[in-house]
Chains A and B, each alone.
Chain A
């Protein structure tokens, strides 16, 4: 049992297990969590022949350095990631979006994500993980999910409960594109802001702040003036909601967000742009563009279709 495992020689900045996340728990204060960039998460699984919602390792900026012990296993790394596969002290530059084989004693050094935040590491088979509410996604804030709800740490071991053998190598030609225009639907408190504030929101450039993580993305830029009330009675939040607190700097809610908030909502990022949004690194410049609900629905259909097409190209 569990004779196949990784030893974590360096955990990286924010390395967690993620899958599709958990639903129907907002009312008790638990958000969806799950892989931040859903498209790349699904692709990583397909490249190693797994179901597209299987648990993978998600890393941010600097990823983990893992040493492998066990039978040969197929793996894939997805995103815009610089990594090295080390075989007998021989360094091989890794390529994203194509599977590779690890042998006993090999190391993978996930050095950094390039011009993006999140990357995914998938194995052909299953990690040995605990599930909570049908998901092993780690929510470090509530200590929920696998690994006792804590991020992966130095020196720990990650066990593999199942390896799929006899798999052919798979590859996808895909280049991540970066977006500078984030499309949004007006929020429920849009009219709390002055005309000038509204114009600033849609016309001016904002910069992604360093104070961004899986819970939220803070933005710096011109202040958005509130003319009604800088607080509302606390109410539910969803992924993509853009709140503007009293200081006038917008905060976008991301996958591990608090489920209730009391700041006015100026807008909501459309579903089609979420995967690209989360990949914006601190210092990135963005602008918001208004779209109507019906366009947002169409844009999501197209985005989802494109994702399904990419996945079906992998065989």
Chain B
């Protein structure tokens, strides 16, 4: 299922699942990711699944590229139906103090904000991967009418909880961070909680996420 395995530097494997970005390809990546986690292969010290790649880092004191490559080629990959996916609802407030780029999006997409919200809320999105900053989910796919490029000049600080759109994806900024996604609202929900060591991420790869619009009052009185 992996199209090609090459080395990324001297202490990582670069597993290429193809160039396309879709659920089928990503599911294969996640199946490999979960299977390797389960096998607990000695020497592997990190895994990074993404849309269509899986990077496997290892401790060069213990193993090398050839050893780990062999382990991956002989891996027992779990079946699709064994994948567990949670369904998660994320409340979002689109008050103007949160929807920083809604005007820009109206112009870019040439549709009204109501249409944007209609096409965004209460739809199911699939979590392809998490990362960049701790816990940030990359969700897709947005309808074609909602697909816009990144900001030309990224913001130095995107507020924590911001919900952003870029191309076919949506995400949530789990920390205040620099970033260039088009921000349409903000969630009061805690997406990343480092005090929960066994499961700090609310959203994990393979999960299904639905955004629900809430009012400013509901936002201010939000209690998980």
Assembly CA distance A269 to B8 (angstroms): 10
Partner of B45, one of A23, A141, A235, A258: A23
A residues 261-275 in Cβ contact with B at 8 Å: 261, 265, 268-271
A188 touches B8 (CB 8 A): yes
Residue among B50, B131, B135 with the most chain A CB within 10 A? B131
Assembly CA distance A29 to B174 (angstroms): 10
A293 touches B65 (CB 8 A): yes
A132 touches B194 (CB 8 A): yes
Which residue on A lies nearest to B138, using beta carbons? A234
Residue among A25, A27, A142, A235 with the most chain B CB within 10 A? A27
Contact with A along B52-63 (1 / 0, CB 8 A): 111101001100
**Is the CB of B85 closer than 8 A to any CB of chain A?**
no
**Is the CB of A202 closer than 8 A to any CB of chain B?**
no
Q: A141-B133, A141-B175, A261-B132 are in contact. Are A23 and B46 (CB under 8 A)?
A: yes
- Chain B residues within 8 Å of A300, by CB: 10, 60
Residue among A23, A26, A29 with the most chain B CB within 10 A? A29
Which residue on B lies nearest to A134, using beta carbons? B197
Contact with B along A83-100 (1 / 0, CB 8 A): 000000000000000000
Contact with A along B75-114 (1 / 0, CB 8 A): 0000000000000000000000000000000000000000
Assembly CA distance A187 to B11 (angstroms): 13
Q: A23-B45, A234-B51 are in contact. Are A260 and B8 (CB under 8 A)?
A: no
**Given A132-B194, A236-B54, A260-B131, 7 more pairs with CB closer than 8 A:** A141-B175, A143-B175, A235-B55, A260-B48, A268-B10, A297-B60, A304-B61
Assembly CA distance A201 to B199 (angstroms): 42
Assembly CA distance A269 to B10 (angstroms): 9
Partner of B33, one of A27, A142, A258, A296: A27
Assembly CA distance A23 to B130 (angstroms): 16
Residues of B at the A interface (CB closer than 8 Å) are: 6-12, 14, 19, 21, 33, 45-55, 57, 60-61, 64-65, 129-136, 138, 174-175, 177, 192, 194, 197, 200-201, 204-205
Which residue on A lies nearest to B169, using beta carbons? A234
Q: A132-B197, A297-B60 are in contact. Are A30 and B45 (CB under 8 A)?
A: no
Q: How many A-B residue pairs have CB under 8 A?
A: 139
Residues of A at the B interface (CB closer than 8 Å) are: 23-30, 32, 132-133, 141-144, 149, 185, 187-188, 233-238, 240-241, 258-261, 265, 268-271, 293, 296-297, 300, 304
9 A-B pairs closest in CB distance: A236-B48, A268-B9, A236-B55, A29-B131, A296-B10, A259-B131, A23-B45, A142-B134, A29-B134
- Chain A residues within 8 Å of B11, by CB: 238, 271
- Chain A residues within 8 Å of B197, by CB: 132-133
Assembly CA distance A152 to B208 (angstroms): 40
Partner of A26, one of B19, B47, B60: B47
Partner of A271, one of B47, B60, B200: B60
- Chain B residues within 8 Å of A235, by CB: 48, 50-53, 55
Which residue on A lies nearest to B61, using beta carbons? A304
Which residue on A lies nearest to B47, using beta carbons? A27
Minimum distance in angstroms from B145 CB to a CB of chain A: 21
Minimum distance in angstroms from A146 CB to a CB of chain B: 12
